[in-house]
Structure 1
Amino acid sequence: MLKVLIVDDEKPIRQWFEHVIRQNGDEFEIAGLAANGREALTLCMSSAPDIVITDIKMPVMDGLELIEQASKLNPEISFLILSNYDEFEFVRHGLRIGVKDYLLKAETDDQDIVAALRKMAEDRSGRTQAKDRWQLRDVLNSPEDWLPPEMLQGAMRWLICGRDGTPNTEEDAASSTLLEACKRWAAQSFPLARLQGFVDEGDNAALLLAFTDTAPPSGEELASRCRDWGAEARLRFSYTVSFGIGAAFSSAGAVKNEFRKAKRAFRCRFYTGEMSVNAANAGMSSDPSEEHAELAELMRPLKSAELLEPGLIESVLEKLDALKIRNVDPAEAKEAFRSFLERMEAQLPEETGQRDAKRPDAFGELDRLAYWEELRDAVRRHLRKMQETAYRRTFVYSETTNRIMAYIREHYADKLSMTVLAEQVHLNENYLSQMFKKETGKTITRYMIEVRMEQAKQRLATLRHKINRVAAEVGYASEAHFSTAFKAHYGITPSQYVDSLRSPKPNLSEPQDKTDRGEESWIERNKV
């Protein structure tokens, strides 16, 4: 909230401006009223106004002299001149010495006053944020040169606060900047703490709290106060905020490293959602190269993925779930899955036209996603669309059959039945079964067995999966049933196959037709 000083030798003018400003008390407050420049100069020293509205011609000290003297006291003061028609030369002089705007008394109404003040507030906000960003960089690189010495004598904590969703400029104008709101809250919540506030990237507020004369609050207490203020901000400003809380530290040399950890904690809101309060933990790394290496290791198995391989979407979603567990940097995560989708897109047949250089960026939306659930949904949607396109071009089947094949490949581990499959394409069960057999030469159940067996073979080949685990992962309720089905399909048991991996492999590419029919009958009876 900006403080405004009103200076005019006419009392009705002062009262008029005071009334208008008080009607906008959520944006501005009255710092004082003065009848001449000398009174105003005294108030500038005692009340530290942000904006001075001043007449030009006044007794004792006129407006131009007030501007020159007050600017020496505080270069950050913004000035708004009140003038008459015959005073334009004075106005031009005022503009040359730093006045931001002027109002003609005869033509000004209430809306003009508020508009001029809001314009000045916006200009101050931009200058303040630019300065805060510059100061933050200096503080992080040389804290002992830029921070007050007394701040470095106690326990310190970084606190990062940012708005959820897309900022609304009208709300910002009505509620002041986030940094100023956070600073007021911190000053009220921790009156004995020393405080430095900065604007970080994305217009987030970065607060450094130093507790030199009192014990610092625990992480739980600080988190509780952050949640309380987040609820208050939602009621007062109609937007929500999230927080990242740094660990307590007492060394100037740790200022930059602990700031990075607090920022990483703040970025965890990507996984925890709106109105989140996330704290840095002792094991949290602040090294971007470590985060990149961790993500690269997580994505390694997907480098050789094929667009139409069974269970691809399931595998990709597992990696996305792992992102949430590990709190991988959101920007890195979105870039990694964007690159993955581009590799999958490159596998589409040329005639689909999906890789036309002139088309819009198909995956640009990933960069703009705010939360993990949105990323997960978007990746799944893109993969499914690409798979459906590939099926239509790879197999000479109808769209209905291609959709059933794609659904089975994605949901092979589920308990599938003809009822479930028929619902996907809105057809009668018998008609669907007959159409699938006519087009592919095999029953739906036979196709499902092939998909399950191929996936089982791939998992057993890793030598890291136990047979009972593989059975469950490919849709079998018991290891015994899985082993029977595997032997019916390949001619050897899963155990024999695992043993054979250490010696020349048998040819498992051809299923054993004489026993597959028995497996199909068992599945039909049990609706597996």
Structure 2
Amino acid sequence: MWKLMYRILIADDEKSIRDGVARYLAKHCADFEVAGLAENGEEALKLAQSLLPDVIITDITMPRMNGLDFLENISCLLPDARLIVLSGYDRFEYARQALRIGVREYLLKPLDTTKLLAILEKFKKELDQSRRALGPLAGVDLKDSHRNPRLEQLYGKLLNGGNSETEPMIQEPASYCCVLCSGDVKEEIIREGLYRKFARLGEPVLIRMEAGIYAAVFRLPGERASEEFLKLNLGLTSLANYMRSEGLGELHFFIGGFVTSVKGLPISMYQARQAMEYGFIEDMPPAVNYEDSQAGRMAVCLYPPEEIQKELALAVNYGNETMARARVCDLCSWFDENGIRDAAFIRMCFLTAGHRIQSPGRDAVRISYLEAERFRRDVLTARSFLRLKEVFLDFIIFLIGRKRGEITEKQVISEKVDRILRENMANPEFSLDDVAGLLFISPNYLRQLFKQETGMTFVEYLTRARLEHAKFLLSSTDLKVSEAAELVGYKDPRYFSSCFKKMFHISPSDISANSTLS
């Protein structure tokens, strides 16, 4: 979707100034909207990462995080944002630091509104030019644009471990870099965006690697790697922000090192994958390079305090949910306080903590191999630290329920099945085999559990769930009978009506009519 206005974020600890500037801009500046207001640097940093403003106006002296620290943090995450300092201090040192960070304008209080409008008009022209350079990427036929099948085949073979006759094809000196792209943006949009952003730097070649993962190979003639590295990093950050701000999807880039031969590309890709696996994807900045990820891994290895893990085990054994929740929060806070970002290490610590709670003993909580495997899989696939915390807390609460005798394995299976059914109810072909595959258990075992717990076959359970949901839809919305039937997986409305009347002794059209009258 094409943005009609540019966004401004205002950060100042004085409410009168924040609100006053916002009101003035709303009245006199039609090309910009004030997207967010922050009263300190920490709040401004969070808002900037969420709102992706085009212009940031900030004070310097603010509580919790001052304006210069905020700008230094955000400048690498939003390299295209225009930065303005609005300060009551006319100090050379402040101005010098601001210029080093990349601040474009340094305004003094009281604010000269005429000067601010002139600055914003200048910024608008620059932003318009940048927007035209990328152009609209949505709603345009880009299927085969800027493809190079010959190089795609060459690079693809190298990156997938094959040998290739590369020397006759590429002889002049060059530097190469592999960048892994992860996200939900369409392949053709990624390819076109990379071309428009980096055509002058070295036309990239995009190769599909696996579901949701692409490799972009950059080739820079001569020995330009060192001078172009920063441009590549900032350009990829800018492109990812653009995709997100235009509603095209989330995209993260992971940059491997530069190599001096095309045959070294597998090394660059390995480094890019190391960067991708370092953190939780949803918590990482738009572009991460291998060197930065390795710097984090070279730090001294710390382990969570033994006391927290012991108290967590006690909380589970005594069935104390309040204490367990508090210790889980303590464990998560410990990683944050110590600046630990290595996702593989954090996952290992959570898995270890989970297994220690179940260590053999008289009071140990017994779980099945299936339940243990589910916990392991959920930990390893968590895409953010917050999601990992939720997974671990859910597992702890589950163990407490098992300890109290409130949760059995059958009940856990039933809850999982019910959730899966609701997510796939509109699929008329959905079957017990599909559910069993998603739960990683055999269809026969699932069929047996269902019969034991519900007294119904899976087909009977699915039919009842579909018809009850249809009844809810018809009684609470203005959907037609045929529309409700389709939403719960029935292709034939007449067959749906027959099944519905057999179960509820009333036709679906009567329920729909009563809902409309009421």
- The two structures have a TM-score, normalised by structure 1, of 0.38
- The two structures have a TM-score, normalised by structure 2, of 0.38
